[in-house]
Amino acid sequence: MSRASGGTERRAEHHLEVEIDLAADAAARAGVEDLVRGDDSRRLEGANRLRHAADTLVTELVLAARDNGSTWAEIGEILGVSTQAAHQKYRYAGTDDE
């Protein structure tokens, strides 16, 4: 594991590099802490943080899958959505056109 610029870490697993956003990782950790120790409001905030961190991770993994040749149909099947839905949601991910 090596630290890259911009608050990310790079981990090589099975010849696939995925950039992990350290801010999302910290949000996920805080979210879990809030779920375990918080009142109802804090638990809801924690769940929302976890949802955002998971969405960020899924987006990064979709981009990595596309870079490695996966089709929109394959990605859609894995995510449980149509090819069109996967394409519409993630086609501009990682670009300034989002």
Name residue, tokens 């990605």.
Answer: 75
**Rg, Å, the chain Cα set:** 15
Whether residue 98 lies inside any domain: the answer is no
Query: How high is the pLDDT of residue 84?
Result: 98
Query: How high is the pLDDT of residue 34?
Result: 82
Whether residue 79 lies inside any domain: the answer is yes
Query: How high is the pLDDT of residue 12?
Result: 46
Query: How high is the pLDDT of residue 5?
Result: 43
Q: How high is the mean pLDDT in each 10-residue block of the chain (98 residues)?
A: 46 50 72 83 87 89 95 97 97 76
Whether residue 95 lies inside any domain: the answer is no
Boundaries of domain holding 41: 2-90
Residue 98: both structure tokens together: 């989002």
Structural domains in the chain (count)? 1
Whether residue 51 lies inside any domain: the answer is yes
Whether residue 22 lies inside any domain: the answer is yes
